[in-house]
Copies of this chain bind each other. A is one copy, B any other.
Amino acid sequence: MAKDFQASKPIYVQIADHLSYQIVRGELKTGEKLPSVREMAILSGVNPNTIQRTYSEMERMGIVETKRGQGTFVTENEHVLKELKIRLQNDIIAVFVQNMKDLGFSQEDMIKGLQQYLRREEM
């Protein structure tokens, strides 16, 4: 037990997630060009191949579209973006629920705890 320090997701997934967040939040707008593979590699401090894989995965998921010789662009398919948002939301909730469960909280506790937290924050 307890040997999984740094058991982080693959870098190419981390970057994909990061970009997905930016897209969902509108920081990267629909149709907008992403940094080129090489640029992004420098920005992220990783090898271009890793970014290549990130972009490939995102294309496979329909989040971006690549045009040879032109670049990689955020899809304009709103449906895909909506699904993406739902997926990301689900992941967040799943982590939350798991953690709360681990702490021994019931479902009711979770909702109450969240409501209290939000009420406090509002003030």
Interface residues, chain A, with chain B CB atoms under 8 Å away:
1-3, 5-6, 8, 11, 14-15, 18, 21, 24-26, 43-46, 60, 85, 88-90, 92-97, 99-100, 102-105, 107, 110-111, 113-115, 117-118, 121-122
Given contacts A2-B46, A18-B2, A92-B99, contact A118 B114 (CB under 8 A): no
Contacts of A89 in B (CB 8 A): 100, 103, 105, 113
- Quote the shortest CB–CB distance from A3 to chain B (angstroms): 6
How many copies of this chain does one complex carry?
Answer: 4
Contacts of A3 in B (CB 8 A): 11, 44-45
Whether A6 contacts B8 by the Cβ 8 Å rule is yes
- CA gap between A89 and B25 in the complex, in Å: 26
Given contacts A96-B114, A114-B93, contact A104 B24 (CB under 8 A): yes
- Quote the shortest CB–CB distance from A2 to chain B (angstroms): 4
Across the A-B interface, the 8 shortest Cβ-Cβ residue pairs: A2-B45, A96-B96, A92-B99, A93-B117, A107-B118, A5-B14, A25-B104, A6-B8
- CA gap between A44 and B113 in the complex, in Å: 32
